[in-house]
């Protein structure tokens, strides 16, 4: 589709290519990956009519549910859905209304989980400094997520940077009191040979989950 010798952003505003990409979403002979590629191309457009069209197809029974979910996610991720919006979408033959706030929260959770998985993968492969940097940047982006503080604190604990690790565990508890943070803080105190008064029965139940 992108055969013309022009920047992709310019191609995305070509009326012919936009129309072709939009109607490709309904073609049965195209794979899901091809449709997603065309959808990403459409996200580069500056034409509000494109996004109104995409919003409208969310209730079209001719489109598979997975594609409609992906369209909804892309619209939200690219700033075309606000928290106050109410969007209708038909899934499994039933039309429901969901708020932009719900959609954006779900996207945020997915992004945070992806960051955590990436950080843990780096840590497990021995790339500790890269994992530390990733979690520090993630905290800047999502400062109210206790899981990010816990993962960074455990890296610092591994590097024997106990004072900062302690502050991070406590910060995670300030955001949301939870047994995992308490148990990890307890483990840190034990590692530092300090008396700990935070070990609770709730935390003990989570012992298997300690990093």
What is the distance of C-alpha 56 from the center of its chain?
25
CB 142 within 8 A of CB 112: yes
Q: Which of 46, 57, 53 is nearest to 19 (CA)?
A: 53
CA end-to-end distance (rounded Å), the chain: 48
pLDDT of residue 87: 94
Q: What are phi and psi of 50, to 5 degrees?
A: -65, -45
User: Rounded distance, CA 73 to CA 80, Å?
Assistant: 10
Torsion of CA 81, 98, 89, 111, to 10 degrees: 60
pLDDT of residue 126: 95
- Exposed e or buried b per residue across 157-177, where buried means at least 16 C-beta atoms within 10 angstroms of its C-beta: beeeebeebbebbebbbeeee
Token duo for residue 127: 């790339």
Full-model pTM: 0.71
Determine the longest span between alpha carbons in the chain, in angstroms.
71
pLDDT of residue 46: 81
Question: Position of tokens 């065309």?
Answer: 38
pLDDT averaged over every residue in the chain: 86
Q: Classify the C-alpha dihedral 115-120-126-129 as positive or negative.
A: positive
pLDDT tier, 155 (very low <50, low <70, confident <90, very high otherwise): very high
pLDDT digit string, tens, across residues 13-47: 678 888 888 999 999 999 999 999 989 888 888 88
């Amino acid at each position: 589709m992108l055969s013309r010798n022009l920047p992709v952003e310019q191609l995305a505003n070509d009326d012919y290519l936009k129309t072709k990409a939009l109607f490709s979403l309904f073609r049965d002979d195209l794979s899901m990956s091809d449709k997603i590629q065309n959808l990403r191309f459409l996200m580069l457009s500056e034409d509000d009519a494109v996004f109104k069209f995409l919003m409208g197809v969310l209730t079209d029974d001719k489109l598979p549910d997975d594609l409609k979910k992906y369209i909804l996610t892309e619209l939200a991720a690219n700033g075309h859905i606000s928290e106050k919006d109410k969007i209708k979408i038909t899934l499994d033959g039933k039309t429901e209304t969901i708020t932009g706030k719900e959609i954006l929260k779900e996207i945020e959770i997915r992004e945070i989980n992806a960051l955590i998985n990436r950080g843990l993968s780096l840590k497990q492969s021995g790339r500790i400094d890269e994992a530390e940097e990733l979690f520090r940047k993630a905290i800047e982006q999502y400062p109210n997520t206790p899981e990010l503080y816990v993962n960074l604190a455990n890296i610092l604990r591994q590097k024997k940077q106990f004072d900062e690790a302690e502050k991070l565990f406590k910060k995670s508890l300030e955001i949301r009191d939870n047994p995992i943070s308490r148990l990890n803080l307890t483990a840190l105190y034990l590692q530092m040979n300090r008396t700990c008064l935070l070990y609770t029965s709730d935390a003990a139940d989570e012992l298997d989950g300690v990093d």
